[in-house]
């Protein structure tokens, strides 16, 4: 499967909560090939911003040739994307990276912040029982009701305004949630905690890493991270070999 560069037409865009936008795009070449956990590179029309912005795939609608992203406005590039209207055109490269495998059994999906969107398509496609633990800073939650269509949902907020006060791992332990495997996406500190939790419980975990990217196709090596190999280590590219890795491979800075 190779990535395709195409001109996508904006089908719909809305602001879910302050600073978080949802955009559906028409791009059949990408929707036909995309899977959960993969990502896209979106390019600005402003030629002063030549590097594309990597954004994870939130939902895939193959029947209608559409693909959805949910993203945070974090700079000039994403600010430009947030101003696009229906029928505006944007250059997109994708699908990119290796995403999540569709595994049988009881799935525990854990996500925090802008790591939440890529878990929605995964929750839709998994064949077994799915529980999702979502972590937010406060009560400004997004996508929660959409996850509830496909999974049991528990929530953690940093300020305690909704659900368990603390992290997604706090929510998992408070609610006594178990699973046959874990899939996760979110801040590095959260992934590190889940790596240790999975090792303690002796269950498989698959973690989606976020690193700064330049090319997005494995050439520049700007997103290379250390991974275990035998008694030593090597480097793998988040954009090409990942972003999803088996937790046993990943070497986090403690």
Residues in the chain: 254
| Residue 43 labelled as part of a binding site | no
Cis peptide before 243 (omega within 30 of 0): yes
Q: Supply the DSSP symbol for 140.
A: -
| Residue 62 labelled as part of a binding site | no
| Residue 58 labelled as part of a binding site | no
CA dist., res. 29 & res. 100, Å (int) = 20
Count the alpha carbons within 13 Å of 94 in the hemisphere toward its beta carbon: 36
| Residue 215 labelled as part of a binding site | yes
| Residue 9 labelled as part of a binding site | no
| Residue 239 labelled as part of a binding site | yes
CA dist 157 → 74, 108, 115 (Å): 21, 18, 15
| Residue 235 labelled as part of a binding site | no
| Residue 220 labelled as part of a binding site | yes
| Residue 165 labelled as part of a binding site | no
| Residue 237 labelled as part of a binding site | no
| Residue 5 labelled as part of a binding site | no
Helices (H), 51-116: 76-82
Could you tell me which residues are annotated as the binding site for [2Fe-2S] cluster? Answer: 215, 220, 223, 239
Annotated binding-site residue numbers: 53-56, 70-72, 77-78, 215, 220, 223, 239
Which residues are documented as binding site for FAD? 53-56, 70-72, 77-78
């Amino acid at each position: 499967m190779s990535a395709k560069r195409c001109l996508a037409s904006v089908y719909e865009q809305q602001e879910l909560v302050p600073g978080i936008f949802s955009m559906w795009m028409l791009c059949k070449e990408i929707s036909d090939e995309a899977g959960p956990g993969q990502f896209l590179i979106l390019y600005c029309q402003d030629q002063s911003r030549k590097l594309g912005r990597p954004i994870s795939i939130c939902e895939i609608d193959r029947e209608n040739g559409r693909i959805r992203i949910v993203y945070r406005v974090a700079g000039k590039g994403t600010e430009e994307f947030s101003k696009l209207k229906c029928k505006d055109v944007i250059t997109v490269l994708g699908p990119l990276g290796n995403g999540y495998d569709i595994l049988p059994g009881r799935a525990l999906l854990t996500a925090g912040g802008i790591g939440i969107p890529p878990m929605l398509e995964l929750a839709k496609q998994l064949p077994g029982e799915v529980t999702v633990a979502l972590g937010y800073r406060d009560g400004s939650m997004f996508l929660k009701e959409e996850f509830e269509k496909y999974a049991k949902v528990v929530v953690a907020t940093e300020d305690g305004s909704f659900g368990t006060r603390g992290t997604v791992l706090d929510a998992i332990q408070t609610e006594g949630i178990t699973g046959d495997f874990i899939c996760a996406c979110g801040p590095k500190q959260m992934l590190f905690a889940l790596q240790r939790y999975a090792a303690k419980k002796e269950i498989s975990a698959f973690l989606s890493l976020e690193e700064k990217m330049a090319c997005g196709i494995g050439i520049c090596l700007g997103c290379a991270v250390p991974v275990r190999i035998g008694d030593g280590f090597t480097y793998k590219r988040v954009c090409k070999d990942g972003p999803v890795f088996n937790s046993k491979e990943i070497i986090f800075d403690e």
